[in-house]
Amino acid sequence: MDVTLMRAHNDLSGAMRTQSPGSEDEMTKTRVAIVGAGTVGLSAALHLARSGKFDIIVLEAEYIAEGSSSRSIGIVETQYMDEFDIAVRAFGLRFVEELVASDGLHFNRNGYLRLGDSDEALERYACSVDLQKRHGIDDARVLGKSEIKSLVPHLEMGDRAGGLYGPSDGYLDGHLFANLMGDIARRNGATIMQKAKVLGATCGRGEEIVLDTTRGPIVADVVVNAAGGWAGRVGELLDAPVTMNPQRHQAITVTLNKPLGYTMTSVMDYVPGSGRAGLYFRHENKASLFAGLHTEETIQEASDPDRVSYNADEAFTEQIAEALAERLPGLEGAGLGRGWAGMYPMSFDQQPVVGPHPADARVYCALGAGGNGIQLAPAIGKTVAEYLEGVAPSMAGPGSKWDSTRIATSDPALAGVNLQGAQQ
């Protein structure tokens, strides 16, 4: 099925090129419309634009990074247990490092520490260190309690066994990251159209897709659904449905009454698959930290991204205050300042969905990155570009965790949908 979908797309692209008006150069290019100008959509635009094989337009309902990307705390790290999860994040870290060198992206390399609550957890962390070395991350290491206390003197470790530490990890500004990728995509010929909300989609002449937007019709050969928390709605408009469970998550500023005297590493007191949300916090500047609760599982009701409050609520503030008092009891006089909320665009199985949609090979999924969109965007964008270039994806193709064909058997949104046409 995977090969069939890729061949169907390649055949379709060749047929559409012969119908495209314009210069000879334009006639050789597939027209790609990307819905969503967050980090995922703009990463796809950047990678496609660099290839020189596509006419690319990015359609954004509001403004660049208006959704989850601008509300992220921007951590980029590789401290995971599964090799695939490490590989795609290692690529993301290298991508960020390249933009630091080539375009002056500001990356705050303060390190990242994942706490562990048992000797068994530390054994898994030791395996992670070995896996990370396979993917070019040579400095990750397991730390004991005393080493962690030296690294983060304010941290309470009485109920923790140690941690997994990546000194090369860090954080960036999601809004600036998205805009920089947008600038690079534009330099390579892409168009970014803001205030261009997609209202509907119909098939045009031949196999074209005509997108009805608030700024007029857009004709494309291929559409990439990178709409974040709105990806479910966009999928319905494209007749390429996918179940999304957007989760509202909050973060808050921790105001310090005096400088720490050191740059605090990012600390995550959550282990993927644990079934609970965990406290995280990171350095922001000499006078403040950022803190919140993180999970990569769907543990709450889905939220409507158009109706949800983007302000922090009182119950969350109280929960964070209690968690910080337990984990950072040495921060005497610290207080809580401005809080905000953002969306984790979770898929039906909490994994990103990347590749051709089973119901329509002209629609590509680049969605479901959850609360990891900043660090996964580079790998998602590259994977979309590889699919559209007709080459085997180097990281996340058929058979991987992100394989889009799993929608056909796992996603309730596709129940009763006839997939025969997409598979021919």
Query: Using CA of residue 148, residue 150, residue 152, residue 158, what is the dihedral sign?
Result: positive
Tell me, rounded to whole angstroms, the distance of Cα 164 from its chain centroid.
22
At 315, list the tokens: 């119950």
Q: How confident is the model at residue 204 (pLDDT cuts 50, 70, 90)?
A: low
CB-based contacts of 322, cutoff 8 Å, min separation 6: none
CB atoms within 10 A of CB 62: 12
pLDDT, tens digit (0-9, with 9 covering 90-100), for 333-363: 899 999 999 988 999 998 999 999 999 999 9
pLDDT score at 270 = 82
pLDDT score at 22 = 42
pLDDT score at 23 = 44
State yes or no: pLDDT of 13 exceeds 70: no
At 177, list the tokens: 């990251």
State yes or no: pLDDT of 386 exceeds 60: yes
**DSSP one-letter string for 285-308:** ETTEEEEEEE-SS--S----TTTS
Residue appearing with tokens 């390429």: 240
Element (H, E) at 193: strand 191-193
Mean pLDDT on 399-413: 91
First to last CA, the chain: 10
Of 40-44, 295-299, 358-362, which one has max mean pLDDT?
Answer: 40-44
Closest CA to 19 of 34, 35, 31: 31
What angle in degrees, to the nearest 10, is found between the helix axes of 39-51 and 373-389? 30
pLDDT score at 11 = 33
Task: Give the 3-state secondary structure of residue 245.
Answer: strand
pLDDT score at 18 = 29
| Main-chain phi, psi angles of 270, to 5 degrees | -145, 135
State yes or no: pLDDT of 17 exceeds 70: no
Q: Say if CB 366 and CB 44 are below 8 A apart.
A: yes
